[in-house]
Structure 1
């Protein structure tokens, strides 16, 4: 735990990641990486940003990671700026303002790479989430000589093989997920609403420092089931004897989650 009371990866671990990112820039002939992140499902769409900066924003954010020189982080909301400055490992952390990313573009100008080759790292290459259309339109108009290259998939590949430190965080996420399922077994009784059960399950990991990643809880009668899968939004429906409780639970330790998909039968009366 650091002096600011947030868990931290070691300097060696962060340097390892930065070296991998610069290796990607070397192999692709890039002058900089431009990363975009959004809140997504409990900030999961900030994973790339977090991997380099140790900060996950609740709104949109940009990170300029140049081949040479210091990185710059631009957060979406001004009232998040102070916390971002504490958590991020980079010293240049600013409010990115609203609308088009003008302040971020100003920094590209300051780095003299507005006519260079810039690698774009979006949210998830599987779904082709790059950066907002309006922002890309603005950047292309402002920097007509820039060569933009989507390297989201190649950047994702850098993150696939986890380090020993990351595996320890995943283990903690798995422990927190197990606590959640233990609470489910304790409180899942006929008469409790799904929404209350979900809240009691969430309390099990929150008091231990965990974060909610996926928290799906749905009950359905075993004699006449209406769904084969847990729903994303728990209801006010009360559990009944003879139900099967369907769950998909991922509690996370600062973005590193375990996961469990478990059915739990409630004995018929």
Structure 2
């Protein structure tokens, strides 16, 4: 397979962590502050930590390049005027070396409170950016902020902050291309390891080896297997079962490795041997849905165009259990619209597509009981000429048959 070279961005001190360019961070900080000014925000408290396969570090990494270890709550105090500061519980030299801003360690909420007082913002309007739109900061931290700053006007601005990140810069697109390449390498490694007699755990090992060996972070490793003659699964798992592959199995993959905190998911179905007619029928529907949903990824189109395209699955008598399209930043996929999710509460609309969005088309086709299914998906960069597929393995979206 072709090899993509890492971007020639600066390395952080002697620890050689990759980082976006200084110009990129200045551009981000400027854009954030312009948005803060429009909302009359004096300061942001941006939260993150090691949850959801390290995706919840995303916004802190976006602002600072900092990433800790397994902390549940870390903050970046980002003022409209003044220098940002990362507030964490434990900072080792190699962790601190990642950051392009000052990192202070003791107790994350203590440092956050101290920094707000230093900035004399105890009566200002303060925006809180949660790590994900469906989760928030710890209750004791929230109570501490309200007790320390009773005259401050707190506003949760998570969804608005994510929207600032929807349109990608050239540096971000380059990093997403590498993340997509890592998902290709992970898929290829799993395909090479898959044969009758091999355990599911061995497939996970092949994936992790491929990602770590090529400079990535494992992110989301969705891998599952079931018999196509007596199936009991329609989607992958994130931990292996004590199961041994057999001829006639199907592998269901949803791989989301990270590069520099950015994720470009793929979804794949891999058959170990001849594909029964019922699975052929499902995959034919998945191919058609993948094609028409991908074609709908045109600047100027809306969520309605995507949802309409995905109705092919329902008309064929099957169901789907994932959004047809979701954004990818490196945070949880909920950081952007869940377009066409079967649960209306998770389907965030409306949205109009624009140039330089990057989104994952995630086609899942299953029976009504969710015991049999196939998957097909890729991440795309929306250009003026239409969607550009970032994955390249396999070159064709046809099912891999080993």
Aligned residue for 1:85? Answer: 96
Aligned residue for 1:157? Answer: 163
1:189 CA displacement: 0.2
SS in structure 1 at match of 2:58: helix
Moved over 6 A (4+): none
In angstroms, what is the RMSD of aligned CA positions? 1.4
String of CA shifts for 1:206-244, please: whole Å, max 9, x gaps: 111011111111111111100111122111211011111
Alpha-carbon distance between aligned partners in 1 of 2:84 and 2:266, rounded to the nearest angstrom:
37
1:259 CA displacement: 1.5
1:248 CA displacement: 1.0
1:19 CA displacement: 0.6
Q: How does 1:186-265 map to 2 (within 5 A)?
A: 186-265=192-271
Alpha-carbon distance between aligned partners in 2 of 1:62 and 1:47, rounded to the nearest angstrom:
12
- State whether residues 215 and 248 of structure 1, in contact with CA within 8 Å, keep that contact through their aligned partners in structure 2: yes
Alignment length (residue pairs): 261
Q: How does 1:62-73 map to 2 (within 5 A)?
A: 62-73=75-86
1:197 CA displacement: 1.4
Aligned residue for 1:38? Answer: 49
Aligned residue for 2:335? Answer: none
1:130 CA displacement: 2.6
Aligned residue for 2:19? Answer: 8
Check 1:231–1:85 CA distance in 2 against 1; reply closer, same or farther (3 A cut).
closer
Aligned residue for 1:148? Answer: 154
Any unmatched runs of 5+ in structure 1? Answer: none
Alpha-carbon distance between aligned partners in 1 of 2:32 and 2:79, rounded to the nearest angstrom:
10
Higher relative helix content: 1
- State whether residues 49 and 68 of structure 2, in contact with CA within 8 Å, keep that contact through their aligned partners in structure 1: yes
Alpha-carbon distance between aligned partners in 1 of 2:110 and 2:258, rounded to the nearest angstrom:
34
- State whether residues 193 and 202 of structure 2, in contact with CA within 8 Å, keep that contact through their aligned partners in structure 1: no
- State whether residues 64 and 100 of structure 2, in contact with CA within 8 Å, keep that contact through their aligned partners in structure 1: yes
1:83 CA displacement: 2.4
Aligned residue for 1:124? Answer: 132
Aligned residue for 2:118? Answer: 110
1:81 CA displacement: 3.3
Any unmatched runs of 5+ in structure 2? Answer: 1-9, 275-402
Alpha-carbon distance between aligned partners in 2 of 1:246 and 1:114, rounded to the nearest angstrom:
51
Correspondent of 2:178 among 150, 153, 172: 172
* TM norm structure 2: 0.63
